[in-house]
């Protein structure tokens, strides 16, 4: 019987064969197609090279094509993914995993059953490196609910919005994160717009969601397991000031955004008004110029389009390591 370690080694040998063959084929093509999984990537910019693929609607991958798939979109497609990956060795499949910080078992499978694995968070990556030799650096989440074109079209709306000094922070409760749920319940005692919410958010129109975000000066954000939530970038790109746990301060993805961020310590949750007042004072002091600065910073460093390019750069580096 083949041991687990031997199976892992065989998978990595097969992936290296796939990588070399794909790399050689790229040299013969003027351009290699890139397909992004419909769902998480739906608001990404499309070009002659980059387009969407609906994983539910296909039964096989196309050869000579780079696929960048989000783990959530793969789960929606069901069990057929494994067969699609194994049966088309001429495709190059990258998985961008949003849940590597808490769903270790699933992430191990994604790391093993992909040509290139890109975690979203800096959690447990030593574990995933034990099952794949084809793993990139973490690429954080980003704004996925509005395209950059849509945001540019509505920039004046963001600048003109009347802002409530009460923070916004509606979060879905997850049973596997009881401490987070308790924090949200505590904050809800202080702020009516911070606390639990149902799962109907994405049923609303883009404009309705945009207006809700733009109606607040500050945004109180509670992550799961110290991840970097998408809502940090949603807050910035709509001109607001994010209030984050101090434990996130040193994350690389936040480095270019520090001047726009406020942080809280666990003890602050019992008396959170001072943090909100400081964030709102910062908002008022900067005025419209601050709204614009936060919006533009997030358009550059916090939108999905930037993440697609980050991931592609890593894929190209993996396919052509000598370059």
Residues 6+ apart with CB under 8 A from 246: 263, 264, 265
Residue 70 has pLDDT above 80, yes or no: yes
Overall domain count for the chain: 2
Regarding whether 102 and 55 lie in a shared domain, the answer is yes
Q: What is the DSSP string of 18-70?
A: HHHHHHHHHTTSS--EEEEETTTTTTSPP-SSEEEE-GGG-SSPPTTEEEEEE
Looking at the structure, tell me whether residues 109 and 236 fall in a common domain. no
Per-residue confidence (pLDDT) for residue 202, from 0 to 100: 86
Q: Within this chain, do residues 171 and 263 fall inside the same structural domain, yes or no? A: yes
Residue 276: CB atoms within 10 Å: 23
pLDDT per residue as tens digits for the range 185-232? 999 999 999 999 888 898 999 999 999 999 999 999 999 988 999 999
Rounded percentage of the chain residues whose pLDDT exceeds 90: 91
Residues 20 and 123 in one domain: yes
The answer on 313 and 245 residing in a single domain is no
CATH of the domain at 98: 3.40.50
Claim to verify: residue 33 and residue 135 sit in the same structural domain = yes
> Does pLDDT of 317 surpass 60?
yes
Provide the angle, in degrees to the nearest 10, between the axes of the packed helices 273-301 and 230-237. 90
Is the pLDDT assigned to residue 323 strictly greater than 70? no
CA–CA distance, 81 with 235 (Å, rounded to integer): 34
Expressed as residue numbers, the domain containing 242 is: 148-302
With a cut of 90, say whether residue 321 has pLDDT above it: no
- Whether residue 55 sits in one domain with residue 11: yes
CA distance 277 to 289: 19
Query: Do both 166 and 295 map to the same domain?
Result: yes
Are the CB atoms for 40 and 159 separated by under 8 Å?
no
φ, ψ dihedrals at 118, nearest 5°: -120, 110
DSSP letter (8 states) at residue 117 = E
Segment 235-281, tens digit of pLDDT: 999 999 999 999 999 999 999 999 999 999 999 998 999 999 999 99
Question: pLDDT value at position 64?
Answer: 97
Query: Mean of the per-residue pLDDT values for the chain?
Result: 96
- Note whether 152 and 297 are same-domain residues: yes
The torsion defined by the Cα of 33, 39, 44 and 49, in degrees rounded to 10, comes to 10
Give the model's pLDDT for residue 322.
66
**pLDDT of 134-188, one tens digit each?**
999 999 999 999 999 999 999 999 999 999 999 999 999 999 999 999 999 999 9
Judgement on whether residues 214 and 99 belong to the same structural domain of the protein: no
Is residue 70 a contact partner of residue 41, using CB atoms and an 8 Å limit? yes
| pLDDT of 68 | 99
Q: Do 155 and 274 sit in the same domain of this protein?
A: yes
């Amino acid at each position: 019987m083949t041991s687990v370690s031997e199976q892992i080694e065989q998978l990595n040998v097969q992936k290296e064969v796939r990588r070399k063959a794909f790399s050689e084929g790229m040299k013969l093509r003027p351009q290699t197609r890139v397909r992004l999984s419909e769902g998480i990537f739906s608001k990404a910019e499309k070009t002659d090279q980059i387009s969407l693929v609906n994983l539910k609607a296909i039964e096989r991958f196309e050869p000579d094509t780079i696929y960048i798939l989000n783990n959530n979109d793969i789960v929606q497609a069901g069990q057929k993914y494994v067969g699609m990956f194994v049966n088309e060795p001429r495709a190059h499949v990258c998985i961008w995993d949003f849940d590597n910080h808490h769903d270790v078992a699933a992430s191990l499978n994604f790391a093993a059953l992909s040509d290139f694995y890109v975690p979203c968070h800096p959690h447990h990556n030593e574990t995933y490196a034990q099952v794949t030799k084809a793993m990139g650096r973490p690429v954080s989440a980003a704004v996925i609910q509005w395209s950059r074109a849509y945001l540019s079209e509505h920039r004046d709306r963001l600048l003109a919005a009347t802002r409530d000094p009460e923070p916004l922070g509606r979060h879905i409760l997850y049973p596997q994160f009881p401490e987070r749920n308790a924090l949200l319940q505590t904050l809800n005692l202080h702020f009516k717009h911070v606390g639990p919410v149902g799962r109907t958010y994405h049923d609303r129109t883009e404009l309705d969601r945009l207006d809700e975000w733009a109606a607040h000066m500050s945004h109180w954000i509670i992550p799961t397991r110290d991840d970097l939530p998408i809502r940090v970038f949603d807050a910035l790109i709509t001109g607001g000031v994010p209030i984050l746990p101090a434990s996130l301060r040193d994350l690389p993805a936040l480095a270019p955004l520090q001047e726009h961020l406020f942080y809280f310590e666990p003890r602050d949750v019992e008396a959170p008004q001072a943090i909100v007042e400081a964030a709102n004072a910062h908002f008022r002091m900067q005025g419209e110029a601050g709204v614009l600065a936060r919006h533009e910073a997030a358009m550059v460093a916090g939108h999905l389009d930037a993440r697609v390019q980050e991931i592609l750069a890593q894929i190209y580096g993996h396919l052509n390591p000598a370059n």
